[in-house]
Structure 1
Amino acid sequence: MKQDMKHYKDLRSYLQALDEIGDLAHIRQEVDGDLEPGAITRRSCEIDAPAPLFENIRGATPGFRILGAPAARSSRKDMPYARVALSLGLPPASTVPEIVNALLAARQLPGKKPVRIDAAGAPCRQNILRGDDANLDRFPIPFAHDTDGGRYANTWGMLIAKTPDGRWTNWSIARVMKVDGKRMAGLMVPSQHIGQIWAEWVKIGQPMPYALVQGVAPAIACAAGVPIPAGIDEADYVGALWDEPIEVVKALGVDLDVPAHAEVVIEGHVSITRDCPEGPYGEYSGYLGTESSMQPSFHVETISYRDDPIWPLVVAGRPADESHTIWAMGMAADAMALMREAGLPVVSAWAPEESAVHWFVVVVPNDWREKLPNTSSEQFARRVGELLFKADSLVFIPKIFLVDDDIDPTKIADVVWALATRVHPRRKQAVFEEARVVSLAHCYEEDEYASGRGPKVVFDTLQLPIGEGRLRHASFDQAYPQDLRERVLKNWDSMTTSPR
């Protein structure tokens, strides 16, 4: 894994790499800072355009910039996941399985603790704001969608918090809405790690210290956006991925360490009550939100930032954006680890982008019956559901499909064909009636959202073993002898080129 890895220690070196492969668009024409960056970023995701870097934002301090779609699909058709691959230090042409395997491999390595450096030389300390000067109004925070409840100060930044006893420091991505220059409201989901840590501070009755960090090294942002087991520090995980520790500095006003090469660092405390309305917000399911909820307030006390800072922007919505790339890859890595630890034979896993993280496909080997003797496919499907539907990392997934290894889960045509021709209308379904339900999954009824419980299902599409009745594909690869296929491919260009 390491021989071809090249790590980008800050956002700016990563942008240089995107520039080199033609996957960065420098937007020098003036844009309206309210909604135009959101609209351009959303269209960029929908047509797989280069990542937009907005360099001239009306009303913003000269030099302040916004980066849209930092880890969405690439504009390079020959390397569709280049942004995620480069973020993790992999070659830009890496495939989904290669990226997932890299995430898996890093989990098996001993973590490397971050190293604290002299703050005087840290790029994130080039400018420091305290007291009334520490105000969000000086930063170009746009609206992501026209119906959002406010400008979202966090869509691809990283929240840092640690337990009151200091045993666990969590770096994670969660949506945070700007309320005014001195306050934000953040969605605090109990099943997510940031929500679990906040609950510990609530229990002791003390506001939670936090840092919201924008524009970190791309591997750090990816690690913050993928599921890692509770109690594991993301900083240590990235250190293992890099094979060297992350450089950090002590925060200015709270007892936390922050990445030294970040673009912007916001510090303060989080209230212990849900005292501020947050939302609505357009989400990964592809729909604009219509409701708000009461969430904790994030009070802004200190801000530091680099010269000419870059603020990353993710505009969640219909596939595909970062919710459907790096998040899905993290889910796949976690599911693979869980299934292998449980002794279940599995080849790969993937949440097809087109499903908006509502489908999860598990691919099993043809010889799974030898590895699980006396187990029917229906029993196999139930074991998979019992394991994955209990995992915090997959709580958002309502439907799992168990498929044979003749299906590539990253090719939506393969997946749709298998589901259309191998899913029985009634049988071979492992239904879990009282599974955990979260409000962000878009396929449930109001009473199920209210109770937090609803059905989930594993569809068993597994066929008979090869040589025991399984039908071959009516395809070029399987319906013709190898020598004929080789001859057709060799002569393809000359046979299919029309004479002038």
Structure 2
Amino acid sequence: MGLNTSLAAANAATSAKQDLRAWLAMMEAAGEVTHVTGAEREREIGGIVDIFQRKIGNPLVLFDEIPGFPKGHRILANLLTSVRRINMTVGNSPDASEIDLVQHWRRYMKEAKTIAPVEVTSGPVMDNVATGQDIDLFRIPVPRWHEHDGGYYIGTGDMVIMRDPDTGWINYGAYRVQAHDKNVATVMCSKGKHGDMIQRKYHERGQPCPVAVVCGMHPALFMIAGLEIPHGKNEYDAAGGLIGEPVQVIRGPKTGLPIPAYAEIAFEGFIHPNDKIDEGPLGEWTGYYAGGLKKEPVIRVETMMYRNDPILLGAIPGIPPDDDSFYRGSYRSGAVWNQLEAAGVPEVKGVWSHAAGGSRLWLTVAIKQQYGGHAKQAGLIASQCHAGAYVNRFVVVVDDDIDPADMDKVVWAMCTRFDPREDMELLRGCWSSALDPMAYSERDPRNARVVIDACKPFGRRDTFPIVVRASEEVEALVRGKFGALLPK
């Protein structure tokens, strides 16, 4: 794991960048929080979150005084469906644009800065520690997030932590975790995900897989859980690089797994071979109940820890935009951009993964055309590079006068620069998921997709009709004289 246990490193870490409560205070000061009291967990909390998530930029929602639970046992949802809040979380100017945010992620990936975590002996997560008969996951007000869900999902905005038995590599991912009983939960990891691979290593040896689940943490740590950190790379190292300091962790008393010291809620236990129970359904990130009711691995909980007045973090999948799709979309846009350049595609001017596609199904790439076929090359590579290939449906390539994050302009380019006879490629048998409602089948989760060239025809760029828009000179003139009256 590469723990740095020096006292100096421990003292260097600060709670401001690791404590959800410090982040929440920052959001309160920025006017980004709506408080709701008295909503119950069966229908009302989920129904309220659904309404908040329907529009990008709606505030956070903090629930308290939940019937049947002590005041102070809270739920925080609709976290990162806002470019402004994501910018504030990663240290950017709150007013930075969508493409500015993508550029931030590009720099983060290129620099690949890592800071190893630091082990400490205690932390706020240890305010309350329960073992044996005292464990009760339902001490936390876990909601039924959607009315047709098959149960209560304590893990949506979460970190599921495991250790590779061969190398000691620590991995954490944002996998869905359903609470079934006081000390029983399930975890659902799609095939090929790192958590699934680590579980199988233990089970092939006939051994239980140690696991820890964190259900409330600083959103920067949560964001790393949902990103595609390469196999073998420690997410804690990546999180330290993102926040600029080592993440403080305590060791789980039963598993020895590292748990953030400033976590709100955490539990640990073991996944035994062939120990599965019915899990789901859960309304998922594509906006459908794809996947249904299935047998999934059981976590037998042996330790539960939580802070006084704990906050459950909810990152609720559903009809996009949602937390799952929106923050991942800005990161994925940066990853696709970097991978296009690495593949030799020149003059990429922007990439945006549209929230309506759940951060995966729709990609727009802006280029400054350099040669015939440039647009098609960019589109085909974007549709199949690692960051863009999984569950993609549309890739649209536009000229550099189009902001790829402005969907009105993207659709305008498609309507006026796209020739269906020449500018569309249909790709079959591509990488998808059973959560894709248009996958071929559950047993064959591939899909088809299209690449659309919505650039001006390369051979007609100089004769293509000019755009009806004030020149930069005229815009500078009127903004200089009437700027106070004009929208930004």
Q: TM-score, normalised by structure 2?
A: 0.89
- Take 2:212 and 2:358, find their aligned partners in 1: how far apart are those partners? 29
Give, in angstroms, the shift of residue 142 of structure 1: 0.4
2:333 — aligned with what? 332
Q: Tell which deviates more after alignment, 33-42 or 248-257.
A: 33-42
- 2:86 maps to 84
Q: Residues 459-478 of structure 1 correspond to what in structure 2 (within 5 A)?
A: 459-465=452-458, 468-469=461-462, 471=464, 473-477=466-470
CA distance in 1, matches of 2:98, 2:389: 18
CA contact 1:8–1:218 (8 Å) conserved in 2? no
1:63 matched to 2:72? The reply is yes
Please give the alpha-carbon distance, in whole angstroms, between the structure 1 residues aligned to 2:112 and 2:315.
30
Amino acid across the alignment from 1:471: F
Query: What value does the CA root-mean-square deviation take over the aligned residues?
Result: 2.5
Q: Residue deviations 1:449-484, cap 9 Å, x none?
A: 42122323322223245984353553323xxx5554
Counterpart position of 1:23 = 32
Shift of 1:248: 0.8
C-alpha contact 1:448 1:454 (8 A) present in aligned 2 = no
SS in 2 for 1:348: strand
Tell me the CA shift for residue 304 of structure 1. 0.7
Which of residues 345, 350, 353 in structure 1 aligns to 2:352?
A: 350
Is this contact kept in 1: 2:16–2:22, CA < 8 A?
no
Over residues 142-189 of structure 1, what are the superposed CA-to-partner deviations in whole Å (9 max), with x where a residue is unaligned?
A: 000000011111110111112112442112111111222221122220
Q: Distance in 2 between matches of 1:140 and 1:54?
A: 10
2:367 aligned partner: 364
The structural deviation recorded for 1:489 is 4.6
Counterpart of 2:12 in structure 1 is none
Name the structure 1 match of 2:45: 37
Contact 1:136 1:182 survives alignment (8 Å): yes
Does residue 53 of the first structure (1) align with residue 54 of the second (2)? no
Contact 2:46/2:144, CA 8 A, preserved across alignment:
yes
The secondary structure found in structure 1 opposite 2:53 is helix
Alignment of 1:269-348 (within 5 A): 269-273=270-274, 275-289=276-290, 291-345=292-346, 346-348=348-350
Q: 1:494 to 1:282 in 2, by over 3 A?
A: closer
Q: Name 1:116's counterpart in structure 2.
A: 119
For the Cα contact (< 8 Å) 1:227–1:334, is it kept in 2? no
Comparing 407-416 with 376-385, which one deviates more in the overlay?
376-385
Aligned to 1:454: 447
Please list the CA deviations of residues 19-60 of structure 1 after superposition, one character each: whole Å capped at 9, or x if unmatched: 011111222x31212221111111112244321111211111
**Residue of structure 2 in register with 1:408 after alignment:** 403
The percentage of aligned residue pairs carrying the same residue is 27
8 Å Cα contact 1:54-1:65 kept in structure 2 = yes
Q: Is contact 2:336-2:387 (8 Å) kept? A: no
Q: 1:381 and 2:374 equivalent?
A: no
* Aligned mates of 1:377, 1:311 — CA distance in 2: 45
Answer yes or no: is the 8 Å Cα contact 1:155–1:175 preserved in 2: yes
Deviation of 1:256 (Å): 0.9
Name the CA distance, whole Å, in 2 between partners of 1:237 and 1:268.
25
In structure 2, relative to structure 1, the CA distance for the partners of 1:384 and 1:311 (3 Å cut) is closer
Q: Compared with structure 1, are the counterparts of its residues 473 and 228 closer, same or farther at alpha carbon in structure 2 (3 Å cutoff)?
A: farther
Render the CA deviation track for 1:114-155: whole Å, top value 9, x for unaligned: 011122xx1111110001211212110000000001111111
Distance apart, 1:290 and its partner CA: 7.3
The residue identity in structure 1 corresponding to 2:398 is V
- Give structure 2 stretches of 5+ with no counterpart: 1-14
Cα 1:482–1:113 shift into 2, 3 Å: closer
Contact persistence 1:275–1:297 (CA under 8 A): yes
Instruction: Find the aligned partners of 1:326 and 1:145 in 2 and give their Cα distance.
Output: 21
How many pairs align?
Answer: 468
Q: 1:285 to 1:494 in 2, by over 3 A?
A: closer
2:105 alignment partner in structure 1: 103
Compared CA separation, residues 365 and 489, structure 1 to 2 (3 A): same
Equivalent residue, structure 1, for 2:81: 72
**TM-score, scaled relative to structure 1:** 0.87
CA pair 376-40 structure 1, distance change in 2 beyond 3 A: closer
Task: Report the counterpart of residue 3 of structure 1 in structure 2.
Answer: none
1:76 match? none
**Superposition deviation, residue 13 in structure 1:** 0.4
C-alpha distance in 2 between matches for 1:113 and 1:299 = 29
Give the corresponding residue for 1:13.
Answer: 22
Q: Is the 8 A contact 1:266 1:303 kept in 2?
A: yes
